[in-house]
Every structure is written in C-alpha cells, then in structure tokens.
Amino acid sequence: METTDLADMFGLPPTSDDVACIEIAESHAAIKALVNTLPSEAVIGPATDMAKLIVAMQTTDEDTLAAWLLSYTLAIISMMRSLE
C-alpha cells in the first residue's frame, strides 16, 4: 500500500521507507500485469456492485467505508491472481 492506512486500521507499525518503496514498485508491476490480461467487465461489474452497496449502506463513517473498500480490493486481487 502507498499509505499506512492498512497498518493503522489493524494497529500495526508501518514498514520502513526502503521496504515500502520496494513493495510499492512490486505491487504496481503485479497489478499492471494482472489488469492488462483481464477483460474490463471482470473489474467494472463488481466495482459497480460495490458502489451500489456502499450507497445503500447510507453511512459516512470513514472506518466502515474503508473496511468495505479494502474487502472489495482484496477480493478483486485474489480473483485476478486466481485467473493467472
């Protein structure tokens, strides 16, 4: 992650700057490779569904919204990796 949000959410210390730089570069490369091989509807459809769910929840609580978006993101990454 490019921010410490995930570590903060779980009360974990952030990684060091040098490790974070490597993780970010590897993450960008992996996501780019996965996205370039997927049909766009594999990501756009679920994203639209998640957006509708978040609107239906009628909440502005940032922690709740962050948890749902993180869950969605992790599910998409897991799905993309399983399609490799």
Please answer whether residues 23 and 15 qualify as being in contact, where contact means their C-beta atoms are separated by less than 8 angstroms: yes
Tokens 């994203």 label which residue?
47
Q: Return d(Cα 14, Cα 8) in angstroms, integer.
A: 8
- Residue 3's pLDDT band (cuts 50, 70, 90): low
Q: Return d(Cα 31, Cα 37) in angstroms, integer.
A: 10
Rounded to an integer, the average pLDDT of 18-25 is 83
Which structural domain range is residue 14 located in? Answer: 5-82
pLDDT for 84: 63
Q: pTM for the whole thing?
A: 0.44
> Per the structure, how many domains does the chain have?
1
Rounded to an integer, the average pLDDT of 64-74 is 83
- Quick one: CA dihedral 34, 38, 40, 43, positive or negative? negative
